[in-house]
Structure 1
Amino acid sequence: MNAATKCGGNRPDQFPAGNLFVSVSEGLWDNGAACGRRYRLRCLSGNNKPCKDIDTTIDVRVVDFCSQRPCPSTIVMSMDAFAAISRRPDAKINIEYAQI
């Protein structure tokens, strides 16, 4: 069961193909203007070399505001997005991101 998002509520069409979506913290949220924004992400580093490939990038869509207080990071990736760039689901990684 999916919880409603701040951007699209319960609409299934807000989620991009492959479930490559993210929630963002206050710094990127922009009073909700971040909804639907797309970012290109790349894994840079982490303990025990968690990045699949330093040259691999993924494109993600913002669908929600980070609900945790404080938010653990600037961008919180879906499990599928995280798995696309990290070898380990429990890793803490440093990413590079740019709005596209």
Structure 2
Amino acid sequence: MCNIKQVLVVVVVMSFASVAYGDQGTATYYTAPYMHPMTASSCDGYKNDGVMIAAASDAIWDNKAACGRTYKVKCTGATNKGVPHPCTGQSVVVRVVDYCPPGCRGTIDLSQEAFAVIANTDAGKIKIQFDQ
């Protein structure tokens, strides 16, 4: 028979585990040039935002409220058999600077440089964990 201390320990451990994992989704990537003279970003117009950037899908866009938010993103696994172990074990922090329109293949569309920090770009699309 379990005593109350054991039950409390299990509850506390489970609550930390749920906080540690963050949101789950998928990531894809897009390639440079990120700032094109003919196409402004949805958030910053023609401003050069560097390369650790992302476009938000409808899942996190929130009617443009995602603009400027930063997300810590980590690869958690493959979405296809082409590259069965794509993750590097690292995480990356990106800033949302654009909108990934309906039909976007991922929860978040990372710059190629940001994607390469967390996964092999040959994978194309990966499972992720992300936290604002």
- Shorter-normalised TM-score: what interval? 0.7 to 0.9
Unaligned runs of 5+ in 2: 1-32
Unaligned runs of 5+ in 1: none
Are residues 1:4 and 2:40 paired? yes
Deviation (angstroms), 1:33: 1.0
- The alignment's TM-score, normalised by the length of structure 2, stands at 0.64
Identity of aligned residues (%): 37
* Helix, strand or coil at the partner of 2:61: helix
Which residue identity lines up with residue 29 of structure 1 in the other structure? W
CA RMSD of superposed structures (Å):
1.4
Q: Partner of 1:26 in structure 2?
A: 58
Give the structure with higher Rg (CA).
Answer: 2
Deviates more, 1:89-98 or 1:32-41: 89-98
Q: What does 1:1-100 correspond to in 2, within 5 Å?
A: 2=36, 3-12=39-48, 15-16=49-50, 19-46=51-78, 47=81, 48-53=84-89, 56-67=90-101, 69-99=102-132
Which structure has more helix as a fraction of its residues? 2
Deviation (angstroms), 1:92: 2.1
- The alignment's TM-score, normalised by the length of structure 1, stands at 0.83
Contact 1:41 1:58 in 2 (8 A): yes
